[in-house]
Amino acid sequence: MKNIWTIAKREYDNYFNGPLAYVVMLAILLPMGIYFSLILFYTGQQAMFGGGGAPDVQPINGLFIFLMVFLSPALTMRLLSDEARMGTLELLLTAPVRDSELVIGKWLGAMLFVMFILLITLVYPLVLNNFVDPGIDWLVVISSYIGLILVCGTMLAIGVGVSAIFSNQFASFFVTLGIIFFLYFMIGLPAGLLPQSGEVFNYLSLQNPYDQMNAGTMTLGGIVYYLSLISLGLFAGTTAIEIRRWR
């Protein structure tokens, strides 16, 4: 457990050693800030004319997840690929660290960074709470944020798993992007085309369980699905590292 934390801490710090952390934060917080301002502006306008409903965090958090589809591969692409390319993987694999600890530590480092950004985004519901009378529904906010953590954790786990397979970080980026894009946007499409048997595809979509959580409905199926995908991603990463040893 200590090794996982040591690796996670180093990865978290490492994001801030280069421009990546700031680029990702800008790419997330700027559109979210603009979107949030627009929501406040239009909701205010509508309220002045006696129409519209109270604004909530759902659309803002939906935008966060949409952006993470494209940014999470950037956060994970170098995690293990770069270690393999630079040869530092040899150092880690000859240190008394289990392969699973290495992979989980890398994932946790990326998760800590995403949680840091999520922490910043908490300003939106806090601001919103001041504008809405009698305040926003915090249970919906909590449900939405748990959903955000689970979906981001899933995306990052997929990314870490892919990063363990490739030594080239660009290959890692595009393969991760492809998998996440497919699971988020495309896997649910057959559900509409096959009304009888297609419902199963809805369950496999990364988007659907989150949409429910974002609306304040936590489903056990959704939580189990995300936790299963996180485990699968980390297991794939650990297996890829073990295969590297045997090659």
Binding-site ranges for another protein (CB under 8 A): 2-3, 6-7, 10, 14, 17-18, 86-98, 245-247
**Cα–Cα distance list, 62 to 1, 15, 70, 151, 162 (Å):** 33, 24, 14, 11, 25
Structure tokens at 204: 């496999």
To another protein, the closest distance from the beta carbon of 81 in angstroms equals 14
Residues of the chain by 3-state class (helix, strand, coil), percent to 5: 80, 0, 20
Beta-carbon contacts of 157 under 8 Å, excluding residues fewer than 6 positions away, are 107, 229, 230, 231, 232, 233, 234, 237
Chain position carrying tokens 């934060």: 25
Supply the DSSP symbol for 197: T
* Minimum gap (Å) between residue 85 Cβ and another protein: 10
Minimum separation from the CB atom of position 230 to another protein (A): 24
- Cβ-based nearer residue to another protein, 73 or 105: 105
CB of 164 to another protein, least distance (A): 16
When the beta carbons of 53 and 87 are compared against another protein, the nearer one is 87
Q: Please report the sign of the dihedral spanned by the C-alpha atoms of residue 230, residue 74, residue 8, residue 28.
A: negative
Nearer to another protein, 137 or 242 (CB): 242
Helix residue ranges, H only, 49-96: 58-76, 81-86, 88-93
For another protein, which is the closer residue by CB, 6 or 228? 6
CB nearer to another protein: give 18 or 135. 18
Q: Rounded to the nearest whole angstrom, what is the least distance from the CB of residue 83 to another protein in the complex?
A: 9
